[in-house]
Amino acid sequence: MKEILTAWDGEAVLIRHDAQTGAVIIIGIHSSKFGPATGGTRLMKYNTVEDAIQDAQKLSSGMTYKFALADFPRGGGKAVIALSRDLLPEERHGLLMRYGSWIRQLNGYYYTGPDVGTTPEDMDVIATTGDPYVFSRTPANGGAGGSGEATGYGTYCGMKAVGAHLFGTRTLGGKKILVQGIGSVGRPLLGYLKSEGAEILISDVDERVANDYPEYAFVTPARVYQTPCDIFSPCALGGILNADTIPQLRCKAVVGAANNQLGTEADADFLARQNILYAPDFACNIGGALAITGMEAMGWSKQVAFEQVSRVEQTLTTIFTLADEQRINTHVAARNLVREKLNRIQ
Ligand code: NAI
Ligand code: PHE
pLDDT tens digits for 84-102?
999 999 999 999 999 999 9
Res 346 pLDDT > 70? no
260, 282 in Cβ contact below 8 A?
no
Res 34 pLDDT > 90? no
The pTM is what?
Answer: 0.96
CB environment 326-342: b (16+ within 10 A), e (fewer): eebbbbbbbbebbeebb
Residues 104-129, mean pLDDT to the nearest whole number: 97
pLDDT of residue 171: 95
Radius of gyration over alpha carbons of the chain, in Å? 19
Q: CA 64, 66, 71, 74 torsion: positive or negative?
A: negative
Residue type, position 180, single letter:
Q
The residue nearest atom 9 of ligand 2, judged by CA position, is 289
Residues 316-344, mean pLDDT to the nearest whole number: 95
CA distance 289 to 155: 13
Res 5 pLDDT > 90? no
Pairing, β 75-83 against β 37-45? parallel
Q: Which of 196, 240, 201, 199 is nearest to 218 (CA)?
A: 201
141 CA → ligand 2 middle, Å: 18
70 CA → ligand 2 middle, Å: 14
CA distance 248 to 245: 5
Provide φ and ψ at 62, rounded to 5°.
-60, -35
DSSP 148-204: HHHHHHHHHHHHHHHIIIIIS-S--TT-EEEEE--STTHHHHHHHHHHTT-EEEEE-
Res 180 pLDDT > 70? yes
68, 342 in Cβ contact below 8 A?
yes
Res 280 pLDDT > 90? yes
Best probe residue, ligand 1, of 179, 190, 205 (max atoms within 8 Å of C-beta) = 205
The model's pLDDT over 186-201, given as tens digits with 9 standing for 90+, comes to: 999 999 999 999 999 9
CA distance 202 to 220: 9
Best probe residue, ligand 1, of 42, 112, 237, 286 (max atoms within 8 Å of C-beta) = 237
User: DSSP secondary-structure letter at 134?
Assistant: B
Res 241 pLDDT > 70? yes
Residues 119-143, mean pLDDT to the nearest whole number: 97
CA distance 306 to 22: 40
Residues 49-64, mean pLDDT to the nearest whole number: 96
Pocket, ligand 1, Cβ cutoff 6 A: 115-116, 147-148, 151, 180-186, 203-206, 221, 235-238, 257-259, 285, 288
Residues 318-335, mean pLDDT to the nearest whole number: 97
Residue type, position 61, single letter:
S
Ligand 2 atom nearest to 111, measured from its CA: 10
pLDDT of residue 33: 87
Q: Which ligand is nearest to the CA of 235?
A: 1
292 CA → ligand 2 middle, Å: 8
Residues 138-148, mean pLDDT to the nearest whole number: 96
Residues 250-254, mean pLDDT to the nearest whole number: 98
Pocket, ligand 2, Cβ cutoff 6 A: 38-40, 113-115, 135-136, 147, 259, 285, 288-289, 292-293
Cβ neighbour number for residue 94 with a 10 Å cutoff = 16
CA distance 322 to 331: 11
The average confidence (pLDDT) of the chain is: 96
Residues annotated catalytic, as ranges:
78
